[in-house]
Amino acid sequence: MSTTDQTVRHGKETADQVDGVPTGEDRVAIPGMSQEGEVLQEGRNQAGEPEIKHTKHGDISGVPDSSRAGRFTSYKVGEFPKLTSKLEDWRFTPIKRLKGLDEAELTGAAPAVEVVSGEGQVTVTTVGRDDARIGRAGIPEDRVSANAWSAFTEATVISVPANVEADQPLLVDINGSSMDPAAQHIVIETGANSSALVVLRHRGRAVLSQNVEFQVGEGSKLTVVSIQEWDDTSVHASSQQAKIQRDGSLKHVLISLGGDLVRVTPSTRFADQGGNVEMYGLTFVDEGQHLESRLFVDHSQPRCRSRVTYKSALQGENAHGVWVGDVLIRAEAEGTDTYELNRNLILNDGPRMDSVPNLEIETGLIAGAGHASTTGQLDDEHLYYLMSRGIPEEDARRLVVRGFLFEIIQQIGVESIEEQLRQSVEEELARHEN
């Protein structure tokens, strides 16, 4: 496999600064000049401080934000520029295949929310858009998300009361039956010191823009599994925003298998220190499919931890996978510990994978920060090792491919769901006899 370590926008320690001018090891005699010459690093002023540009309304010149911190947010769809492939966060997405999610009024019927099991300790209610629990996790970060925000009429709120440790996972099916562009809003909230596991399983036919909020209460533990197993023609854009209170913990598992275009954008923000997030992803991209995951972890609080592990397998002509992992460690987020990893397995000729890790570090006082991305075919050394033990090549390939993919499924922790997903992955693999 080839390893590509991409864009690292590097910050510097703020400890050794007086009035914003570096005085420690980074000190320079002339502002903007170092021993290597003029500092031309993008997004930094001459004193080496981060310079944050905001993408403003109407500015569609395609100049990328200098920092993820400067990403424009708004509840109003009209305040976002119309989508073009020149916009940094839409550059990989086939906009025409959004089937109007960016422009149309989203008046179609939202997919039906059906609780399969686990209700009781955890409650599921339908509320109007003015409910106080809506809108606390974050503001829409793109036009499609804002369009859904403008259009949704009612929301599903899943609540875990304080101090309740739910002993059953809550399984929720979200069944689409119409190709009229629709909006949907879901809130999952955990009270202080509670714990719960929620599975959202998307199926059927839909053209859907969705906002999902996770409000992770103080000291609580929430596991959310979002499974996209849509029919082949469905289009789904899902903005999943989390806000984690002090010492709260979120495990987010994203499984995207079916749909013509699925674009999930999970963002995690910390409201206080001590938070922990683990984000896992598995996508299986087939012929003609566009499956995109763009995540963001915003370390704005001290002593929080994040771990990101996303994997994808791709097969067939015009199978297009996209993974963008933005991790920002702000100056005030001292003691941050973060690592993000993306691994992609190309199973035959024809697919395209774009993998872009972005790690921005604005303080040197961190516990750890790292990222890695690999895209390639099956590792010959893995096959060789297994075959040298007598295992025929075909069986060795099976073992390695399934091992690669099932590692993420293992994270779910609900055997019936895991078994069903393993079966789905087997069916995907069988299409190309892997």
Partner 1 sequence: MSVLEIKDLHASVILDDETTKPILKGVNLTINSGQVHAIMGPNGSGKSTLASTIAGHPKFKVDSGSVTLDGQNVLEMSVDERARAGLFLAMQYPVEIPGVTTSNFLRSAKTAIDGEAPSLRTWTKDMKASMEKLKIDPAMIQRNVNEGFSGGEKKRHEILQLELLRPKIALLDETDSGLDVDALKVVSEGVNRALTEQNTGIMLITHYTRILRYIKPQFVHVFADGRIVDEGGPELADRLEEEGYDRYMSVSK
Contact flag: residue 392 with partner 1 (CB under 8 A): yes
- Which segments of 66-194 are extended strands (E)? 112-117, 123-128, 154-160, 170-190
Contact flag: residue 390 with partner 1 (CB under 8 A): yes
Q: 386: number of CA atoms within 13 Å, CB side?
A: 17
Contact flag: residue 407 with partner 1 (CB under 8 A): yes
In this complex, which beta carbon is closest to partner 1, that of residue 252 or of residue 397?
397
Q: Which of 233, 406, 413, 422 binds partner 1 (CB under 8 A)?
A: 406
Q: Segment contacting partner 1 (CB under 8 A): 9-17, 183-191, 294-302, 376-384? A: 376-384
Q: Is 91 left (phi over 0), alpha (psi -120 to 50) or beta?
A: alpha
In this complex, which beta carbon is closest to partner 1, that of residue 246 or of residue 402?
402
- Compute how many residues bind partner 1; rule: CB under 8 A: 24
Contact flag: residue 403 with partner 1 (CB under 8 A): yes
CB 320 within 8 Å of CB 351: yes
Q: Segment contacting partner 1 (CB under 8 A): 101-109, 135-143, 256-264, 382-390? A: 382-390
**Would you list the DSSP string of 29-59?**
SSTTEETTEE---TTB-TTS-B----PPTT-
Q: Which of 322, 353, 386, 429 binds partner 1 (CB under 8 A)?
A: 386
Spatial neighbors of 29 by CB under 8 A, at least 6 apart, are: none
Contact flag: residue 391 with partner 1 (CB under 8 A): yes
DSSP 8-state secondary structure symbol assigned to residue 216: E
In this structure, what are the phi and psi dihedrals at residue 136, rounded to the nearest 5 degrees? Answer: -90, -20
Contacting partner 1 within 336-355 (CB under 8 A)? none
Contact flag: residue 60 with partner 1 (CB under 8 A): no
3-class secondary-structure state, position 187? strand
Residue 13 neighbours by CB distance under 10 Å? 17
Contact flag: residue 393 with partner 1 (CB under 8 A): yes
One-letter amino acid identity for 367?
Answer: A
In this complex, which beta carbon is closest to partner 1, that of residue 106 or of residue 346?
346
Q: Segment contacting partner 1 (CB under 8 A): 49-57, 265-273, 354-362, 385-393? A: 385-393
Q: At what angle do helices 393-409 and 415-431 cross, to 10 degrees?
A: 140
CB 42 within 8 Å of CB 10: no
Torsion angle, alpha carbons of 410, 413, 414, 420, to 10: -10
CB of 255 to partner 1, least distance (A): 15
CB of 410 to partner 1, least distance (A): 8
Contact flag: residue 385 with partner 1 (CB under 8 A): yes
Q: Is 250 left (phi over 0), alpha (psi -120 to 50) or beta?
A: beta
In this complex, which beta carbon is closest to partner 1, that of residue 243 or of residue 397?
397
In this complex, which beta carbon is closest to partner 1, that of residue 272 or of residue 379?
379
Contact flag: residue 37 with partner 1 (CB under 8 A): no
Contact flag: residue 400 with partner 1 (CB under 8 A): yes
Q: Segment contacting partner 1 (CB under 8 A): 10-18, 170-178, 356-364, 391-399? A: 391-399
Contact flag: residue 380 with partner 1 (CB under 8 A): yes
Strands 235-244 and 33-34: unpaired
CB of 398 to partner 1, least distance (A): 10
Picking from 157, 233, 232, 170, the residue whose alpha carbon sits closest to that of residue 196 is 170
CB of 411 to partner 1, least distance (A): 12
Which residues contribute to the site for partner 1 (CB under 8 A)? 379-382, 384-393, 395-396, 399-400, 402-407
